[in-house]
């Protein structure tokens, strides 16, 4: 496959106590924008996000790869981060011009980044199709993700996510959580071979989710 030529630039958004940086990889022929929300200790160079980024590029997306300055996670910083993310994504779409009105939006988040992705998806209040992929979501996300079009991946050995409780909260959306046997909060196991099989399964299911028909246009409430 021929690699697209991507232009790289850095964008920023800053609040009172928080700073949000983004690396933007773009081309005029993009089909949409994929926003990558790393975890607090899981950056975009680690396997789940590295291969997510490669896949999104292959599928024709521009990339906005976020990075956070130091922050203490609480309700105040969560709300502030949501505003910063929504503002930054809105600015990128505005700068992209009229063509971006028909872009697909794709949010891919890991751990606390998945929480930021879910919050931002509901806060954007746009009518563009928006799909979310949550990698190792946190327990407090179960209620939030119900308002988004999503697929989630969680390990049954992840101490930060109570799968039975989350499924009860999600109700009919519970099958959208893919449970990976023996996997921890990085979706790895004690076996290297099994960890690679899980990585392959996750990326394959993500690819099918992205290529599935677009969600119905709506305004998030």
Each domain of the chain, given as residue ranges in start order, spans 7-211
pLDDT (0 to 100) of residue 130: 87
Dump pLDDT digits (tens) for 20-55: 888 999 887 888 999 999 998 899 999 999 999 999
Name the CATH topology of 7-211.
Rossmann fold (3.40.50)
pLDDT (0 to 100) of residue 218: 42
pLDDT (0 to 100) of residue 220: 37
pLDDT (0 to 100) of residue 176: 92
For the chain, 221 residues long, the average pLDDT of each consecutive 10-residue run is: 68 74 86 92 94 95 89 84 85 77 88 92 74 93 84 96 91 92 96 97 96 59 35
pLDDT (0 to 100) of residue 19: 80
The CA-atom distances, in angstroms, between 197 and each of 37, 123, 204 are 23, 35, 11
The CA-atom distances, in angstroms, between 215 and each of 2, 87, 110, 212 are 29, 23, 22, 9
pLDDT (0 to 100) of residue 1: 43
Q: Are strands 149-155 and 130-135 parallel, antiparallel or unpaired?
A: parallel
The CA-atom distances, in angstroms, between 171 and each of 39, 114, 143, 177, 211 are 26, 20, 10, 11, 25
Question: Any idea what DSSP says for residue 129?
Answer: -
pLDDT (0 to 100) of residue 127: 62
Other beta carbons less than 10 A from residue 193's beta carbon:
8
pLDDT (0 to 100) of residue 126: 62
- Rounded Cα distance between 142 and 122, Å, is 14
């Amino acid at each position: 496959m021929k690699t697209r030529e991507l232009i790289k630039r850095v964008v920023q958004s800053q609040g009172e106590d928080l700073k949000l940086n983004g690396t933007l990889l773009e081309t005029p022929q993009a089909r949409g924008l994929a926003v990558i929300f790393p975890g607090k200790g899981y950056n975009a160079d680690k396997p789940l996000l590295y291969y997510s980024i490669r896949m999104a590029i292959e599928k024709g997306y521009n990339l906005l790869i976020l990075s956070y300055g130091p922050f203490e996670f609480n309700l105040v910083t969560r709300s502030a981060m949501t505003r910063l993310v929504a503002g930054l994504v809105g600015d990128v779409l505005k700068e992209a011009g009229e063509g971006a009105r028909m872009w697909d939006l794709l949010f891919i988040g890991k751990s606390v980044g998945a929480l930021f992705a879910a919050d931002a998806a509901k806060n954007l209040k746009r009518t563009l199709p928006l799909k979310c992929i949550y990698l190792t979501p946190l327990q407090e996300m179960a209620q939030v993700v119900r308002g988004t079009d999503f697929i989630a991946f969680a390990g049954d050995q992840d101490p930060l996510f109570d799968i039975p409780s989350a499924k009860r909260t999600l109700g009919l959306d519970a099958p959208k959580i893919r449970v990976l046997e023996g996997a921890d909060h990085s979706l790895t196991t004690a076996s290297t071979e099994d960890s690679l099989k899980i990585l392959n399964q996750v990326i394959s299911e993500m690819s099918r989710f992205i290529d599935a028909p677009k969600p119905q246009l709506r305004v998030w409430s």
